[in-house]
Amino acid sequence: MKILLIATTPFVIEKGSSLRVFFMAKTLANAGHKVDVLTYPVGNTPKIKNLRVIRVKSGYNRTGAGPSLAKTFLNLKILSEAKKLLKKNRYDVVQGEDTEAGFIACLLRGDHKLVYDMHNRMSEQLVLHKWYPLVPLAYGVEKVLFSRPDLIITNWKRVQKQLGNRSKPAVLIYDSVTLEKSPLKFKLPQKYIVYTGNFEHYQGVDLLVEAYWKSNTSLALILVGPHSKKTLLRPGKKGMIKFLGRLSVNETNYVISNSEFCVIPRVHGKQPSMKIIHYLLNKKSVLATDIECNQEILNKQNTLFVSPDTDSIANGIKKLSSSRLQTQLEKGIAKSLPSILPTAQEKKLIQAYKNLIK
């Protein structure tokens, strides 16, 4: 079948949403479908059989997340180009990636099937980034997104439950992460714990750093990701915390796989993080705060849960420094793996498309 996949995100860069779009496009193309990806003028163009990337013309070059006026104008160009493509091509399916692209897909008229791949709830993201005046608008957009598509794809069970009693199908497909590893060009500490991801306030990295110093652990702390200048550092204690900056996914896999355990110190938010799957696929035990967004896939068999405060995280670091507990949790991870493996997600996506065009 011929598919138009709309992605209002840079394509391809090594960030969560972009990597999910790439997984969707690659899986469908490798299954023999003809896939056109309509996207921003930012990112690397993959060379894959059956896959064509169409970029709207613009001077836009940002890769950051979150809403902006520049993105609004760019999305209008995406809508205009999508209408032109629908006139020139007979698409069997139009798939919108995340909120903006999903809404654009809902505005397009034709006899094609409509698919919405829901990465996040718009209303929750606006609250998370404190764009409170736009939240009522988000509820209106979500009403359209939840009702109009012929198929909704979600990346977490909690989101699927929020869709209500839809007469049309919804399928759960977790984010897919490559398991390939690339060694770093510099030496890592012999024993360390690791956090990967952004350094926004809700991630709790400042709390993690405070807890780390309080724990007096002999393990080093590795931080991977774009770092905020506000991240707390303790003067006079050099060498124990190492900032590696932004790494490729393959390099991040290498760092995770050689760690003692991984940390998710998040302090609030409802949408689970892609790093949960990243950590578990690398078969590493996890120390996580006991809040809603960390309670899917993670459980007491594969994770040590602690309260989101400095003392609890510090005690958790000391407790999980025990190799015996690490081994125990890693056995629990083995039971979780079958449902999150990339191959399992590919099969579910291909089957969902077969069911869509019956």
Domain extent, residue 288, equals: 192-337
Same domain, 144 and 198: no
Burial 19-36 (b: 16+ CB within 10 A, else e): bbbbbbbbbbbeeebbbb
pTM beyond 0.85: the answer is yes
Residues 197 and 163 in one domain: no
Q: Summarize pLDDT for 253-306 with one digit per residue, the tens.
A: 999 999 999 999 999 888 888 999 999 999 999 999 999 999 989 999 999 999
Model pLDDT, residue 298 = 96
Top-confidence residue, 316 or 274: 316
pLDDT score for 63: 63
167, 83: one domain? yes
Asked if residue 216 has pLDDT above 60, the reply is yes
Confidence of residue 75 (pLDDT cuts 50, 70, 90): very high
**Is the pLDDT reported for residue 123 higher than 90?**
no
Please indicate, yes or no, whether residues 216 and 318 belong to a single structural domain of this protein.
Answer: yes
Looking at the structure, do residues 204 and 325 belong to the same domain, yes or no? yes
Kindly tell me if the per-residue pLDDT of 235 is higher than 50: no
Residue 354 domain-assigned? no
Q: What is the mean pLDDT of residues 133-140?
A: 88
Same-domain status, 196 and 121: no
In this structure, is residue 90 part of a structural domain? yes
Residue entry with tokens 């790093």: 275
Residue 54: is its pLDDT beyond 70? yes
Which CATH number belongs to the domain containing residue 208 in this structure? 3.40.50.2000
Q: What is the rounded average pLDDT of the residues 237-241?
A: 66
pLDDT of residue 236: 44
- Number of domains the chain contains: 2
Distance separating alpha carbons of residues 347 and 58, to the nearest angstrom: 36
CA distance 60 to 216: 46
- 47 and 107 co-located in one domain: yes
> Token pair of 33, please?
């479908």
Which two three-digit tokens encode residue 16? 């969560």
Residues 54 and 142 in one domain: yes
Is the per-residue pLDDT at 46 higher than 70? yes
345 within some domain: no
DSSP string, 169-224: -EEE------------SSPPPSSEEEEES---GGG-HHHHHHHHHHHT-SSEEEEE
Residue 232: is its pLDDT beyond 50? no
Residue 231 has pLDDT above 70, yes or no: no
Domain presence at residue 347: no
**The pLDDT of residue 64:** 66
Q: Is residue 320 part of a domain?
A: yes
Q: Distances in Å between the alpha carbon of 223 and those of 45, 60, 147, 185, 231?
A: 29, 30, 41, 17, 11
What pLDDT digit, counting tens, does each position of 168-210 carry?
899 999 999 889 999 999 899 999 999 999 888 899 999 999 9
Q: Is the pLDDT of residue 327 over 90?
A: yes
Surface-to-core class of residue 229, CB atoms within 10 Å of its CB (0-12 exposed, 13-18 middle, 19+ buried):
exposed
Distance, in Å, from the CA atom of 251 to the CA atom of 205, rounded to the nearest integer, reads: 21
How sure is the predictor about 238, in pLDDT bands with cuts at 50, 70 and 90? Answer: very low
On whether residue 184 sits in a domain, the answer given is no
Task: Output DSSP code: residue 264.
Answer: E
64 Cβ contact list (under 8 Å, min separation 6): none
Clarify whether residues 169 and 196 are in a common domain.
Answer: no
Q: What is the mean pLDDT of residues 142-149?
A: 92
Let me know whether 143 and 231 are in one domain: no
| Domain presence at residue 285 | yes
Burial 108-132 (b: 16+ CB within 10 A, else e): beeebbbbbbbbbbbbbbbbbeeee
Nearest CA to 270 out of 79, 123, 86 is that of 123
Is 185 domain-assigned? no
Q: Are residues 85 and 229 in the same domain?
A: no
